[in-house]
Structure 1
Amino acid sequence: MSGTLWLCGTPIGNLEDMTERLRRILGAADVVYAEDTRRARVLLERAGSSARLRSYFVGNETSRAQELQDDLRAGKTVAFVTDAGMPGVGDPGLTAVQAAREIGAAISIVPGPSAVTSAVALAGMGDRFAFESFLPRKGKERTDRLQTLAAEQRATVIFCSPKRVLADMSDLASALGADREIFAARELTKMFEELWWGTLEEAIAHWTDTEPRGEFTLVIQGAVPSTSVDWQEAVAVVEREVAAGTSRAAAVREVADMLGVPKNELYRRALAAGTQ
C-alpha cells in the first residue's frame, strides 16, 4: 500500500504561527523533503520530529521526485515543506504532487500561513486578485507579462527579492503608470515587518532612499476599466447617498457596482472630496 504525501504550509517568518496539526504531521513523518534543509531542521526541532530530511529544490527536483516516489511506494509518510508558506505556490512542490499522482499515492495538505492572502487582506484593494509569483527576469517574457498586468483589472500579487524589488517596481511603473497604487509588505510576521501603501512612484523613491532588505510581497491595484469614468460625477453620487443617510462605505460599494469602477479607487476619491 502506498504512503501519503503531505503538503505542509509552514510559518512565513514567525515560528509561533506553527499549528498543532503541523507539529503532529511532521512528528509522524518518516521523511521530510525540504526546499532548504537548514531551515527545515529548525522547524523539525521545534516539532520534535526525528524524520529523515532530504533536500528538494529546482536544481535537484527531477532526481528527488523519483526518490519521493520510492518512499511513497514503500508506504512511508512523506511531508513536503518549503522555506515559508505553502509548497507549490511560488515555491517548489508542483513536481512532488505530480510524482505522487503518477503512482496513485494519497495526497493531503496541512494548511498554514500565506504571504499571498495576508498581503491581500492588508492591502485593502478588494478580494479579487491574480497571483503572479516572481516576474520573469528579462526578455520578451518579462515585457509580455508586464503588458498583461497593465490591463489586469484585479489586484495583482507579486513576490520580489530585495535585490530585484527596485527593478521590478521601475518596470511596473513604466508599464502600468507611476501613479498606480501599490501595497508593499516586507518581512511579513517577522521582527522588522514593514507595511507600506502609496503609488509606484512613491515606492521607488522610498526604497531608493532606504536599502531594501528581506523578502517583499507586493499588491498592485488593478487597472481602471477602459471605459471612460466621470470620477467627479461618481463622487457626487456617493456624497448624495451619504447625505441621505447611507454610510460612506455602503455608498461607495453601491455606486462602484453600478458604474463598474474599482471600489477602493472610488472610496479614496470620495474620502478626499469629503475632507476638502
Structure 2
Amino acid sequence: MPGTLYLVATPIGNLDDMPPRVAATFGAADFIAAEDTRVTLRLLNHLGLKKPMVSYYEHALHHGEAILQRIEAGENCALCSDAGMPCISDPGEQIVKEAHARGIKVVPVPAASACVTALAASGQPTARFVFEGFLPVPKRERRERLDFLQKETRTMIFYEAPHKLRGTLDDLAVTFGTDRSVSLCRELTKLHEEIKKTTLGEAVAFYRENDPRGEYVLVLAGADPARLAEETAPTLEEAVAAARTLQAGGMPPSAAAKQAAAGTPFSKGQIYKELIK
C-alpha cells in the first residue's frame, strides 16, 4: 500500500511559531524531502529529531522520481522547503503534481506563508490579490511580465532577494509609476522584522541611500479601476470615427451612434450630434 506525501510548512523565521502538528509529522515520517538538507538539519536538531533526508532543490529534481518510488513502496514522506509552505514558488510543486498523477495521497500540514503574512500586515487591499513570486531575471521576460501586469487591479505580491531589490524597485516604478503604493516587508517574524508602507518613488529613493537587508516581500497596490477606465477610454473623436465606420457599412446613423457609445463615457446623443454634422 502506498505511503503518504505530507507537505510540511516550517516557520518563516521565528522557531517559536512551530505548530505541534509540524513537529509530530516530522517525527512520524519515514524520510524527509528537503529543499536544502542543511537548513532542514538545523530545524530537526532544534526538535531533537534524526531522520534520513533527500534534497529536491531545483537542480536536483531527478531525485523526485526516487522520492515518489519510495512513497509508492509504502514509506511516508514529509516534504518541506527552507521556510514557509512548500511548493509555493518552490520546485516541490512538480513532485506534488506527479504524486496526484500516480494516485499518491497528499496531505498538507500548514503553517505560516510569507506571502499571506505580508499581505495581512501590509495595509494594502486584501480582498483580491495575485501572487507573482520572483520576477523573471532575463530582461525581456521581465519586461513582458511587467507589461502584462500594468492593468492589474488586484493587489500584487512579489518576492525579492536583497541584492536584487534596487533593480526590481526601479523596474516597478517605471512600470506602475512612482506614486503607486507599496509595502516592503522584510525579515518577517525575525528579530529585525520591518513592514514599511510607502510609494515606489520613495522606496527607490530610500534604497538608493540605504543597503537592502534580509529577504523581502513586496505588496503592491493594484491599478485604480476608475483611473484605468479613464486612461483606456476612447476619445470622442475615436468614438465618432467608429460610428462613421458602422454607418459606412450600411447601419443607420442612430443605430451606429448607439453601438459606438457602448463602453465609452459618451452618450448616444453626443456621438449622433457629431455624426450628422
Q: State the one-letter code of the partner of 1:65.
A: G
Cα distance in 1 between the residues matched to 2:27 and 2:84: 19
Any conservation in 2 of the 1:23–1:48 contact (CA below 8 Å)? no
2:209 maps to: 209
1:94 maps to: 93
Deviation larger for 22-31 or 39-48: 39-48
Q: State the one-letter code of the partner of 2:229.
A: T
Task: Name the SS of the counterpart of 2:12 in structure 1.
Answer: coil
- Aligned-pair distance for 1:60? 0.5
Q: TM-score under structure 2 normalisation?
A: 0.80
1:266 maps to: none
Name stretches of at least 5 consecutive residues in structure 2 with no aligned partner.
Answer: 232-277
Q: Does 1:67 align with 2:63?
A: no
- Aligned-pair distance for 1:144? 1.2
Q: Does 1:114 align with 2:116?
A: no
Say which of 226, 229, 234 aligns to 1:227: 229
Any conservation in 2 of the 1:28–1:49 contact (CA below 8 Å)? no
1:49-64 mapped onto 2 (5 Å cutoff): 49-61=49-61, 63-64=62-63
Cα distance in 2 between the residues matched to 1:178 and 1:129: 21
Cα distance in 2 between the residues matched to 1:145 and 1:20: 40
- Aligned-pair distance for 1:228? 3.6
2:160 maps to: 160
Q: TM-score under structure 1 normalisation?
A: 0.80
Any conservation in 2 of the 1:181–1:220 contact (CA below 8 Å)? yes
Larger Rg: 2
2:270 maps to: none
Cα distance in 2 between the residues matched to 1:31 and 1:159: 29
Cα distance in 2 between the residues matched to 1:46 and 1:76: 24
Q: State the one-letter code of the partner of 1:130.
A: V
Task: Name the SS of the counterpart of 1:59 in structure 2.
Answer: helix
Cα distance in 2 between the residues matched to 1:126 and 1:180: 13
1:1-276 mapped onto 2 (5 Å cutoff): 1-61=1-61, 63-127=62-126, 128-225=128-225, 226-228=228-230
Task: Name the SS of the counterpart of 2:167 in structure 1.
Answer: helix
Any conservation in 1 of the 2:125–2:221 contact (CA below 8 Å)? no
Q: State the one-letter code of the partner of 1:171.
A: D
Any conservation in 2 of the 1:27–1:48 contact (CA below 8 Å)? no
- Aligned-pair distance for 1:147? 1.0
Any conservation in 1 of the 2:152–2:223 contact (CA below 8 Å)? yes
1:234 maps to: none
- Aligned-pair distance for 1:149? 1.9
Describe the superposition over 1:79-118 as per-residue Cα deviations: whole angstroms up to 9, x where unpaired: 0010111111122211110222232111101011011111
Give the number of equivalent residue pairs: 228
Describe the superposition over 1:54-86 as per-residue Cα deviations: whole angstroms up to 9, x where unpaired: 11100011x211111121012111000101111
